Amino acid sequence: MNFFNRNNYLISLTLFLISLFTGSYLAISNLKSSTEKRNLSIKNGNWIVNPKMDLKDDYQRAYIARIGLFALDDKEALYFLSSKDDKGRLLSSEYDYELIGLAPKGRYWSYTLYGDDYFLVKNKVNKFGINKENFNPKHNIIISSTEQKNNWLPSGNEKQFHITLRLYNPSEKVYKNLESIKLPIIRRLEK
């Protein structure tokens, strides 16, 4: 390959990569903005839930693909998501939190932490959730980057994270009261 062909190739490759990254960034930004404007979710305190997952709306499909990979149909599960504590502050591993209250009635439930990238929060003990089976009802769930004795959900080292409450086969009362059903309070613990 002579000098001019190699230069043209490198320039073309560079322009292609810049275009690819710019286009991806703009597409994700547009998706985030468009889904927020479309009100696909119902707000309940500092939690949001996507009540219908019929996937007939292109934006809804893209939104679920971005944050809810392998999400089940709304007839099987509801996904409540929170990114803020009870005072409206973003959740961060810099602080410890306590989940006060129980999950609404359903066949099964779980809490899982996801980073700002919507992937599981990395932590030293590879513990990613608390569910109906490993929950100790005598204690509230504690979210912390330092190990706790009971109902500990490790927050790793995340600048911002999200909590997902999965509720499998929820009771009819939950479906009818998504905006008002009592959900756990996420309270920041002061150090």
The whole-number mean pLDDT for each consecutive block of 10 residues of the chain, a chain of 191 residues, reads 68 80 67 50 88 58 51 70 95 97 93 91 93 94 94 95 93 90 95 70
Are 27 and 71 in the same domain?
no
Q: What is the pLDDT of residue 26?
A: 64
Same domain, 53 and 72: yes
Burial of 113 (0-12, 13-18, 19+ CB in 10 A): buried
Kindly state whether residues 107 and 184 are assigned to the same domain.
yes
77 and 156 part of one domain: yes
Same domain, 70 and 111: yes
CA–CA separation, 181 vs 186, rounded Å?
15
Q: Domain range for residue 156?
A: 41-189
pLDDT of residue 35: 43
Q: Are residues 97 and 69 in the same domain?
A: yes
25 and 62 both lie in a single domain: no
pLDDT at residue 167, rounded to an integer = 92
Residues 33 and 50 in one domain: no
What local confidence, expressed as pLDDT, does residue 96 receive? 97
Predicted pLDDT of residue 50? 75
Q: How many domains, in total, are found in the chain?
A: 2
Domain shared by 48 and 104, yes or no: yes
28 and 95 assigned to the same domain: no
- The CATH code of the domain that includes 116 is 2.60.120.600
5 with 63, same domain?
no
100 and 62, same domain (yes or no): yes
CB of 151 closer than 8 Å to CB of 137 = no
- pTM over the 0.75 mark: no
